[in-house]
Chains A and B, each alone.
Chain A
Amino acid sequence: MNTTNNGLATNNMISNMMRWQMTATAVAAVLALLLSGLHAFFSVCAGGFSVIVGAYIASMILKRNEGNVDPSSVLINLLKAEAVKIVVIALLLFVVFKMYAQLVPFALIAGLAAAAIFSGAALAKTDKSI
């Protein structure tokens, strides 16, 4: 199990997570479009994509120090990535709430929840990819 293989495994895991998040957001958005109209569709997309963008930036920070084998620096790097993720998501949500006048708040929360919860679904395939 060398560093390159583990790097590939982490990349697979992250792309898998993004795929699950995008699928969950898309399904929630289509449901919102059918149930409540176009503004609900855009609200779900805004909620889902704020989580996806946050997760993507966090994964970039994670990849930057991938070869590290010191547990404490790995942990600090992970916590740093998570902190940046939360700040990015909060900022994007703030911008959406401020800028989008016709926002459907419950649809936004639905998209946010779907994308956030389904990020863990990528764990199902971790044993195959490592």
Chain B
Amino acid sequence: MENLQLLAMIQAYTGVGIGLIIGLGALGACVGIGIMCASFLEGAARQPEMIPALQGKVFLLLGLIDASFIIGVGLAMMFAFANPLLSVVQQ
């Protein structure tokens, strides 16, 4: 019974953690992408001839900004499908 309670508690807190990982990661990525896209539009309005040259750089930077979010998604999936914290209860 005690083990079952422990298991439920670990799963509940893990669920909260997964939500925080994905939510805060998405928040940070969205703020970063918003700032970068605003700068891109500003640059495009000042120098429209630079748009094709900036496109590739914006794509690379989008990937870099999203890297933290993607890593967060990977970590969240690890906790969802192969939770290492559950091994404490099995012992």
Contact = CB atoms under 8 A, between A and B. Distances in A.
A93 B55 contact: no
Contacts of A1: 49, 52-53
Contacts of A109: 71, 74-75, 78
B53 A130 contact: yes
Given A97-B77, A116-B70, A71 B40 contact: yes
A90 B77 CA distance: 9
A62 B34 CA distance: 19
Interface of B: 33, 37, 40-41, 44-45, 48-49, 51-53, 55-64, 66-67, 69-71, 73-75, 77-78, 80-82, 84
A44 interface: no
Most chain B CB inside 10 Å of its own CB: which residue of A9, A72, A75, A79 = A75
Contacts of B75: 109
A40 B75 CA distance: 16
Contact of B45 (A6, A71, A85, A93): A71
A95 B73 CA distance: 14
23 contacts: A6-B55, A17-B63, A58-B59, A62-B59, A69-B51, A72-B41, A74-B44, A74-B51, A78-B62, A82-B66, A90-B73, A93-B73, A97-B77, A98-B81, A106-B78, A109-B74, A116-B70, A119-B64, A120-B60, A120-B64, A122-B60, A126-B60, A130-B53
